[in-house]
Structure 1
Amino acid sequence: MTTTNPLLDVNDLRVTFPGRGFRARPTEVLHGVSLTIDQGETLGLVGESGSGKTTIGRAVLGLVKPSGGTITFDGRDITHATPKERRVLARDIQVVFQDPYTSLNPSLTIGDILSEPLIVQGATARDARTRVRTLLDQVGLPADATERLPREFSGGQRQRVAIARALAPEPRLIVCDEPVSALDLSTQARVLDLFLDIQRRTGVAYLFITHDLAVVRHVSHRVSVLYRGDNVETGPADTVTSTPEHPYTRKLLLASPVADPTEQERRRTERRRLAALAAGESDAGQA
């Protein structure tokens, strides 16, 4: 039986931030998190604000320096990759940020925004223009978008431009950091379907970071749940988002709003029960 190494392997990752103020103690925000992503797979990374999920994405991108553990991409240790090595890695690892309104340079046309990373990596201006036309078609934007500025587009269209920019160097992994949280619900659905369609056509893998279990259920093959810097549950998306094992994951699921008032009230009651149990366990531990 042959085994295939994962595309991304994060093992026992720790990140520590310096304290604020004189003699302030440093704070460890990730306490030995491990996760893997296979070729063409989507791993949903879910947790509330402050859980450390974005820090994991930034560590993979080289924007945060790990204090322990390893990050391996395609069998190569990139934990402490140099800036030169990171520029090469940018061909294979890209990112889509949360806010489509600030992630695009407002003074550049869409054509320049999409051409720039291609030209930096050695493409000719002619080849870049051809690739840009292909990218716009992939994300469902008209060809004349190349001559327009970001402010001329809606939020959903801007996020499509951001996705096209991430696809430009034909990466193998895209870190998606809350890529639909700034969009309205109908636009969210269209952008999520676009992510799925692109994955089917290109085989790209996603690390999909979000706080919304409904979103990860829609796009993910597997889900990892992060709580206060620890990975508390990992499993198939259908299982984790419908019958979770960990109490924190159950609380996240119960916090998701539903249209049925009766079901919503049942969820509130169950959340209160879990909170009371957690408070009782905490008191018992202190005693």
Structure 2
Amino acid sequence: MNPLLQVSKLRLSYPGRGFRSAAPEVLRGVSLDIAPGETVGLVGESGSGKTTLGRAVLGLAAPTSGSITFDGNDITAASQRERRKLARDIQVVFQDPYTSLNPALQIADILSEPLIAQGQKPADARRSVTALLDKVGLPADSAARYPREFSGGQRQRIAIARALALQPRLIVCDEPVSALDLTTQARILDLLIDLQRETGVAYLFITHDLSVVRHISHRIAVMFRGELVETGPTAQVTEEPESNYTRRLVLASPTADPDRQRQRREARRMLSHSASTT
């Protein structure tokens, strides 16, 4: 099966702060692919470059070299007009459900806005809102309410409904559950899994939490300092990691068992000591 999204040898630098300062390279030759209907979890610590990769796929950050191909078409340097067309196929769910929704708009306006922007008549777009709310498990009367009237988990469901409005083939999920409590996290992850089974949408799921990507991903890619250090099936990467960095991430994942947590801390300490002496 041909990949839906293919990132090849992507490099990206941001301008330096001073007049003569060198441009720091955030992505260093990253290659990644996602098949139709697949979830690839992109995991790494803060500053690893994972969000920058997501922004590059969305056209919000311009690569310095390499290529991004979607459904066989090179979109690396797509124009604004081409990006508007791509919005039908590539959508995003941002991290913070409190700031990603316009507080001045009712939910009906938020959900119908992308449909109208793509040429749908306002009346037809409004009729689609009820179906979208039902798809993410919210009552129809939510349409007449404002974002402030919902909890964090409910707001993220609304953000997911907005991303689904155009029936995209790929959704970039940038830390979509990190601002939520653990119970709500589990519900949102289960919702994303159910929606994928129903619609066949693919996800690039960006997070710092290995336990989260273990729950939702078919494959995991681990990023460290702008490079992918390990990629493979979820079970392989989380249970038998090849990279020392991945091993440290696995050992850093919290567990409810205090004895196991103590063992993990000791193993992480030994791994860090071994790395510092080699």
TM-score (ref. length: structure 2): 0.99
Which residue in the other structure is 2:117 paired with? 120
Counterpart secondary structure, 2:255 = coil
Which residue in the other structure is 1:49 paired with? 46
Q: Which amino acid in structure 2 is aligned with residue 153 of structure 1? A: F
Counterpart secondary structure, 1:71 = strand
Identify the match of residue 74 of structure 1 among 65, 71, 76.
71
CA offsets, 1:191-230, max 9 Å, x none?
0000000000000000000001110010000000000001
Correspondence 1:223 to 2:220:
yes
Matches within 5 A, 1:132-143: 132-143=129-140
Q: How far apart, CA to CA, are the structure 2 residues paired with 1:124 and 1:30?
A: 41
Q: How far apart, CA to CA, are the structure 2 residues paired with 1:43 and 1:165?
A: 21
Give the length in aligned residue pairs: 278
Give the C-alpha shift of residue 142 in structure 1.
0.5
Higher mean displacement: 218-227 or 238-247: 238-247
Matches within 5 A, 1:78-117: 78-117=75-114
Identify the match of residue 260 of structure 2 among 259, 263, 279.
263
Q: Which amino acid in structure 2 is aligned with residue 273 of structure 1? A: M
Q: Which amino acid in structure 1 is aligned with residue 97 of structure 2? A: P
Which residue in the other structure is 2:204 paired with? 207
Which residue in the other structure is 1:275 paired with? 272
Which residue in the other structure is 1:61 paired with? 58
Give the C-alpha shift of residue 261 in structure 1.
1.1
Give the C-alpha shift of residue 264 in structure 1.
0.7
Q: How far apart, CA to CA, are the structure 2 residues paired with 1:234 and 1:19?
A: 30
Cα root mean square deviation, aligned: 0.6
Q: How far apart, CA to CA, are the structure 2 residues paired with 1:232 and 1:22?
A: 33
Counterpart secondary structure, 2:138 = coil
Counterpart secondary structure, 1:241 = helix
Q: How far apart, CA to CA, are the structure 1 residues paired with 2:194 and 2:255?
A: 27
CA offsets, 1:72-110, max 9 Å, x none?
000000000000000000000000000000000000000
Counterpart secondary structure, 2:251 = helix
Identify the match of residue 155 of structure 2 among 154, 158, 174.
158
Runs of 4+ displaced beyond 6 Å: none
Sequence identity, in percent? 69
Q: How far apart, CA to CA, are the structure 1 residues paired with 2:20 and 2:30?
A: 27
Q: How far apart, CA to CA, are the structure 2 residues paired with 1:84 and 1:122?
A: 14
Which residue in the other structure is 2:127 paired with? 130
Q: How far apart, CA to CA, are the structure 1 residues paired with 2:75 and 2:117?
A: 22
Identify the match of residue 142 of structure 2 among 131, 142, 145.
145
Counterpart secondary structure, 2:33 = strand
Give the C-alpha shift of residue 243 in structure 1.
1.4
Matches within 5 A, 1:167-178: 167-178=164-175
Q: Which amino acid in structure 2 is aligned with residue 260 of structure 1? A: D
Counterpart secondary structure, 2:25 = strand
Give the C-alpha shift of residue 22 in structure 1.
2.6
Give the C-alpha shift of residue 236 in structure 1.
0.4
CA offsets, 1:143-186, max 9 Å, x none?
00110000000000000000000000000000000000000000
Q: How far apart, CA to CA, are the structure 1 residues paired with 2:89 and 2:113?
A: 16
Question: What residue ranges of structure 2 are gaps of 5+ in the alignment?
Answer: none
Q: Which amino acid in structure 2 is aligned with residue 25 of structure 1? A: A
Correspondence 1:193 to 2:219:
no
Question: What residue ranges of structure 1 are gaps of 5+ in the alignment?
Answer: 282-287
Q: How far apart, CA to CA, are the structure 2 residues paired with 1:136 and 1:258?
A: 35
Counterpart secondary structure, 2:277 = helix
Q: How far apart, CA to CA, are the structure 1 residues paired with 2:259 and 2:151?
A: 36
CA offsets, 1:44-95, max 9 Å, x none?
0000000000000000000000001000000000000000000000000000
Q: How far apart, CA to CA, are the structure 1 residues paired with 2:235 and 2:142?
A: 38
Q: How far apart, CA to CA, are the structure 1 residues paired with 2:72 and 2:122?
A: 33
Q: Which amino acid in structure 1 is aligned with residue 96 of structure 2? A: D
